[in-house]
Amino acid sequence: MQTCIFPGSFDPITKGHVDIIERAARIFSRVIVAILCNSEKTPCFDLVTRRRMIETATAHIPGVVVQDFEGLLVDFLRQSDCRVVLRGVRGAQDLPYEQQIGAVNQHLMPEMETVVLMSKPEYSIISSTLIRELIGYKADLSLYVPQPVIDMIYVGE
């Protein structure tokens, strides 16, 4: 059974993330969505909320497991007995960063590989940073964020 780990902050999960997970689930029998828990950064959404958002947005995709991790990604890979990291790339602007973290991860764990999927064009402009800014203005998120996640963001409004 081939497993990949899709790490990220997911603050919050977007339609772009969901698309990458859906496509990865056709290639891998298990996709572990791994939420980075960074004690030095304060996310917009706490870990429990981000996990609920991801579980809700990916409930229709078979083989998806949601977990969180703290520390080095390669340590989480080893703990999970997995060698493949999945990343989504929206365009050329994402490549230097992905090349950098991919090379560092492979230096720390030579047997690992990074698999990169290209975002669909309609999702290539989406970022969680942009979504967080729109949330501050209570803007319409429907093009960028799955509806059940929007309902969790704008709860009670």
By the criterion CB under 6 A, which residues form the site for ligand PNS?
A: 7-9, 36, 72-73, 101, 104-105
Q: Of the residues 15, 17, 50, 51, which is catalytic?
A: 17
Q: Of the residues 30, 78, 90, 120, which is catalytic?
A: 90
Write down the least CB distance from residue 156 to ligand PNS, Å.
Answer: 28
Whichever of 9 and 67 has its CB closer to ligand PNS, that residue is 9
Query: Which residues, at least 6 apart from 24, have a Cβ–Cβ distance to it below 8 Å?
Result: 4, 6, 31, 86, 115, 117
Q: Is residue 124 annotated as part of the catalytic site, yes or no?
A: no
Whichever of 50 and 150 has its CB closer to ligand PNS, that residue is 50
Whichever of 75 and 140 has its CB closer to ligand PNS, that residue is 75
7 touches 85 (CB < 8 A): yes
Write down the least CB distance from residue 58 to ligand PNS, Å.
Answer: 16
Please give the C-alpha separations between residue 61 and each of 19, 22, 33, in angstroms, as whole numbers.
10, 6, 12
Q: Which amino acid is at 92?
A: A
130 touches 18 (CB < 8 A): no
Write down the least CB distance from residue 36 to ligand PNS, Å.
Answer: 4
Whichever of 111 and 157 has its CB closer to ligand PNS, that residue is 111
Please give the C-alpha separations between residue 35 and each of 4, 46, 51, 73, in angstroms, as whole numbers.
14, 11, 8, 10
Residues acting as catalytic residues? 17, 41, 90, 128
